Amino acid sequence: MNSDNPSFDHPDGPEFRLDSLTRQWVAITAKRQTRPNLPGADNCPFCVGGQEASEPYDVKAFPNRWPAMVPGERLDLDSSASLEEASVPARGAAEVLVYSPDHQATFATLDRAQARRVVDLWAERTTALLERPEVEYVLIFENNGAEVGATIPHPHGQIYAFPFTPPVAEREAQVAADYGCPICAELRDRPDLQARTIDANGSFVAFTRRAAAWPFELLIAPREHIPSIEQLDDSERDDLADVLRSALSRYRRVFDEPLPYMLWIHPGVHLHVHIVTTRRNATTVRYVAAGELGSGVMFNPVSPEDAAAALREVDPQLHTAEALDSHG
């Protein structure tokens, strides 16, 4: 596929190396540094007529031109004789998913029908990628705002399809196996959840986490124990589209300027969406620095209860009248 892609099957393509200190895989993607300068505002590759979109579209998925992982044969990552020396081609996939042909849109400004198309595309690409023999885990994510490294403003997210279950997802799965599903427990049992809930509808709830690592960190999850996005039915997909629009609209409106954000979706045990911002308030960047990187312990300067109260106060002003029926 995509034979004009410079990284596919190139000897200097991306590779995984095993970190001998942590025994976790690290992707070395140095080849990607050779990518050309990014296009200017009048030359957007995702607008209709641009480099990646010759035909009109509603939503669109395509391989990343400078992928961090590339398709290929399945590799047995556990059988290497000397893991400390291990270096293997970074098999998997990296895709771009464009949310709308409208260059000015964001997920928060999509109408329900368009947001639903994005949810359906996430499900479709997840199914297709998991059918490949070299893929074991599909991570859907979005970086929104220059501050978190988004280089093209046109609304889009990405997918990384990994040849192994990445450590964060693996850890969450292990905790659920050892202690029971924490999301079911939270939605069923926790009396303090109400104070941290910012949005709710028939099948989804959005709330700040009791032990949030990031200011304004949100978790969005279905009320039912549904493992993955492909398993959501028709109305659940509408509800996911709605709760995402509403939560991200609150992120846009809680301060004078939209909060930059990072969003990622964890399938596997109990489907959930994480959303975090790199700000601690309207103007102050929240850096993760030596004390946190060095210890693995996060120090969150904003209480999750205060963050929920601030986000709940916002009128999300969704694009259409067919919005959420109730706010938790």
List the one residue from 7, 16, 47, 95 that touches Zn ion (CB under 5 A): 47
Helical segments of the chain, H only: 112-130, 167-179, 182-189, 193-196, 234-253, 290-295, 304-313
Residues 126-165 within binding reach of Zn ion (CB under 5 A): 154
* Minimum CB distance to Zn ion, residue 72 (Å): 28
188 binding Zn ion? (CB under 5 A): no
Are β-strands 197-200 and 137-144 bridged in parallel, bridged antiparallel, or unpaired?
Answer: unpaired
Distance CA 108, CA 115 (A): 9
Burial of residue 221 (CB within 10 Å: 0-12, 13-18, 19+) is buried
> Looking at 116, 125, 156, 266, which residue binds Zn ion (CB under 5 A)?
266
| 209 makes contact with Zn ion (CB under 5 A) | no
Q: Does 61 bind Zn ion (CB under 5 A)?
A: no
Q: Per CB under 5 A, does 270 bind Zn ion?
A: yes
Q: Between residues 31 and 209, which has the closer beta carbon with respect to Zn ion?
A: 209
223 binds Zn ion (CB under 5 A): no
Residues 314, 253: contact at Cβ < 8 Å? yes
Residue 183, SS3?
helix
Q: Which is nearer to Zn ion, 154 or 196 (CB)?
A: 154
Cβ of residue 12: shortest distance to Zn ion, in angstroms? 30
Of 10, 35, 74, 225, the one binding Zn ion (CB under 5 A) is 225
Among 77, 181, 213, 314, binds Zn ion (CB under 5 A): 181
Number of residues that bind Zn ion (CB under 5 A): 12
23 or 188: CB nearest Zn ion? 188
Concatenating the DSSP letter of every residue in 59-118 gives: SEEEE-SS-SSB------TT--S-GGG-EEE-BSEEEEEE--S-TT--GGGS-HHHHHHH
Between the CA atoms of 308, 319, 272 and 117, what dihedral angle is there, to the nearest 10 degrees? -170
Instruction: By CB under 5 A, name the binding residues for Zn ion.
Output: 44, 46-47, 103, 154, 172, 181, 183-184, 225, 266, 270
